[in-house]
Structure 1
Amino acid sequence: MIGRHDENNLSCSYSLIEGGPLGDKLEKISYENQFVAAASGGSVYKSSIKFYTVGDYVITEDEIKALIQRSEVVVVYKAIEAYLLANTDACN
Structure 2
Amino acid sequence: MGVLTFTEEHASAVCPKRIFKASILDSSNLIPKLLPQVIKSMEFLQGNGGVGSIKQVNFAEGSDLKSLKYQIDELNEETYSYSYTVIEGDTLMDNLDKITHEIKLEAAPDGEKEIKAGKEKVLGVYKAVEVYLIQNPSAYA
TM-score, structure 2 normalization: 0.41
Deviation of 1:74 after TM superposition, in Å, equals: 2.8
Which amino acid in 1 is paired with 2:71?
Answer: I
Deviations 1:52-89 (A, max 9, x none): xxxxxxxxxxxxxxxx44xxx1331231233255x2x7
Q: Distance in 2 between matches of 1:40 and 1:20?
A: 40
TM-score, structure 1 normalization: 0.60
Q: Does 1:74 align with 2:116?
A: no
Residue 26 (structure 1) aligns with: 96
Pairing partner for 1:35 from 96, 105, 114: 105
Residue 137 (structure 2) aligns with: 90
Q: Structure 1 regions of 5+ residues with no counterpart?
A: 50-67
Deviation of 1:9 after TM superposition, in Å, equals: 1.1
- Between the two proteins, the alignment pairs up a number of residues equal to 69
Q: Distance in 1 between matches of 2:131 and 2:113?
A: 17
Contact 2:83 2:100 in 1 (8 A): yes
Q: Distance in 2 between matches of 1:36 and 1:17?
A: 27
Higher helix share: 1
Deviations 1:23-58 (A, max 9, x none): 211111100111111112242111235xxxxxxxxx
Which amino acid in 2 is paired with 1:5?
Answer: L
Q: Answer 1 or 2: higher relative contact order, Cα 8 Å, separation at least 6.
A: 2
Q: Structure 2 regions of 5+ residues with no counterpart?
A: 1-69
Indicate the structure (1 or 2) with the bigger Cα radius of gyration.
Answer: 1
Deviation of 1:15 after TM superposition, in Å, equals: 0.5
Secondary structure in 2 aligned to 1:17?
strand
Identical columns (%): 36
